[in-house]
Amino acid sequence: ALRKGSDLEKAFATAALVYNNYADPKGKLSKAETKSLLQSQFWHVIQGQENKPKYQEIISSLDEESENKIDFEDFMILLVSLTLMSDLLQEIKKVKTTK
């Protein structure tokens, strides 16, 4: 069914597949695993954001020693938060207006 899906559906399916490949059998990620996943799979979005307070807040929350694990919903919120504070949206707007 996903082969026939829209670009947006495929994008969300890909995010879910990547998450599931990293998640434990209960479908959760530790904070350290989440940070590693973001650094390896979301690098182009977060690179250059290191000095932004919101980025520092998000990453430092992943450095906290905690037994709390991240579920898929929290992971998607994290991706959206990082994307919104990144320069990616401005780059997308430039591409769209030049077509």
DSSP state of 50: T
In angstroms, how far is CA 88 from the centroid of its own chain? 13
CATH architecture under which domain 2-98 falls:
Orthogonal Bundle (1.10)
Residue 47's pLDDT is what? 82
Structure confidence at residue 96 as a pLDDT band (50, 70, 90): low
Whether residue 91 is predicted with pLDDT greater than 60 in this model: the reply is yes
Token pair of 85, please? 């504070």
The rounded mean pLDDT for the chain is 85
Name residue, tokens 């959206």.
Answer: 80
Whether residue 32 is predicted with pLDDT greater than 70 in this model: the reply is yes
| Tens-digit pLDDT profile for residues 50-86 | 888 888 888 888 877 777 899 999 999 999 888 888 8
Token pair of 18, please? 């990547």
Please give the model's pTM, rounded to 2 decimal places: 0.78
How do the domains of the chain map onto residue ranges? Answer: 2-98
Residue 86's pLDDT is what? 80
Whether residue 40 is predicted with pLDDT greater than 60 in this model: the reply is yes
